[in-house]
Amino acid sequence: MDRCNEALTSYHSVMSFPAYAPTDEHQMLREAVRALAEEKIAPRAAATDATEEFPWEVYKDLTAADFHAVHIPEEYGGAGADALAAVIVIEEVARACASSSLIPAVNKLGTVPLLLAGSKELNKRYLSPVARGDAMFSYALSEAEAGSDAAAMKTRAVADGDRYVLNGTKMWITNAGVSEFYTVMAVTDPDAGARGISAFVVEKSDEGVGFGPKEKKLGIKGSPTRQVILDNVRIPAERMIGAPGTGFKTALATLDHTRITIAAQALGIAQGALDYAIGYVKERKQFGKAVADFQGVQFMIADMGMKLEAARQLTYAAAAKSELAMHGQPQKDLTFFSSAAKCAASDAAMEITTDAVQLLGGYGYTTDYPVERMMRDAKITQIYEGTNQIQRMVMARQLLK
């Protein structure tokens, strides 16, 4: 019995933290972001999708409310919000407009490498402008032949005195061209494999930095996706993030934290589609009664809500682990949780948005209603920051090792 009691005490100690249930402060934050999203973001969402232009007015609104990069610590001028708060912000913005949600999401993706491995001086120089809303920060890892196999990258960074010279082309870079700063992974030691990759901060204004044309995409059309082209870009050596050869390790650690933000985006898209579908089936009448009165429709709505809430709880649990890890308390299962959250939420979002289109019938297939846009936007959440097939490989390795 003593051993049982000891085990039970230990269990309660472990389970009492990290607590991932939103606090009253988190709920207040959600209400504030939702109010802003419904008033200023949702009315622009269809136009953002149609014009395929970056939503600068939304960026200004998010910055004015300090919702554009809530994760940046107070010491660099940020709000210092925890990981769950960042999830809630992204979730609520995505509920209105997935393209706009990539403002806080990509700001986090680009800056987490600095928070994990950057020096105080480097972080102050680059995180403070992002916190003020003077600049955005993107992440440049993938290449045309190095997507899921990111370690196969060819971009080189060659030491030249107190500088590095970068050459290569990064592919599929979110918000490329509108962001001022980029975390760039490049090979510094071609004979060392993944251990020969280092991370750098590259500025848009650096001589030799260019961008390819905007990709023509299925969804998230208001967020530009472009190549970042590095042609003899000379940068100071102090712009290296962490030690030489640690870039790939930093990249993987970054994704452990930021896959959770993609899960948050997926949750928001799914919630927006579910909310709209519920409103529609309660108003739409067929055969003399509301569509919502038919049991087949009720079962669809129930499944949509169940999948969404299951994914949300997993995402919030992952966010709690991310927060602990960022504050020096390693979480051995963070990799599993972040991959599981991203995979579950994005799969749920694809299913829920598809069902929302079905529930609206012919109307759901037209651009007069938002669910077709939400369905298109949801698809990318199953692909970027690691395809869901890669996520399943990651989870399996974590379980089997």
Tens-place pLDDT, residues 69-105: 999 999 999 999 999 999 999 999 999 999 999 999 9
Counting every residue written for the chain, the total comes to: 401
Diameter over CA atoms, the chain: 79
Cα–Cα distance for residue pair 349/280, rounded to 1 Å: 18
Please state the rounded mean pLDDT for residues 313-326: 97
Asked if pLDDT for residue 8 goes beyond 90, the answer is: no
**What pLDDT band is residue 257 in, cutting at 50, 70 and 90?**
very high
Which pLDDT belongs to residue 19?
56
Residue 63, SS3 per DSSP: helix
Residue 18, phi then psi, degrees to nearest 5: -85, 130
Give the domain ranges of the chain.
Answer: 2-135, 138-247, 248-400
Global pTM value: 0.95
Which pLDDT belongs to residue 3?
52
Q: How is domain 248-400 classified at the architecture level of CATH?
A: Up-down Bundle (1.20)
Residue 254, SS3 per DSSP: helix
Please state the rounded mean pLDDT for residues 275-285: 98
Q: Give every CB contact of residue 374 below 8 A, 6+ residues apart in sequence.
A: 98, 269, 272, 273, 276, 353, 356
- Identify the burial level of 124 via C-beta atoms within 10 angstroms of its C-beta, where 0-12 means exposed, 13-18 middle and 19 or more buried: middle
C-alpha 293, offset from chain centre: 37
Please state the rounded mean pLDDT for residues 202-213: 98
**What pLDDT band is residue 20 in, cutting at 50, 70 and 90?**
confident
Is 385 known to be catalytic? yes
Supply the CATH classification number for the domain 138-247. Answer: 2.40.110.10
Q: How is domain 2-135 classified at the architecture level of CATH?
A: Orthogonal Bundle (1.10)
Which pLDDT belongs to residue 7?
38
Which pLDDT belongs to residue 14?
38
Q: Which of 91, 92, 143, 385 is catalytic?
A: 385
- Identify the burial level of 17 via C-beta atoms within 10 angstroms of its C-beta, where 0-12 means exposed, 13-18 middle and 19 or more buried: exposed
Cα–Cα distance for residue pair 90/262, rounded to 1 Å: 9
**What pLDDT band is residue 304 in, cutting at 50, 70 and 90?**
very high
Chain-wide mean pLDDT for the chain? 95
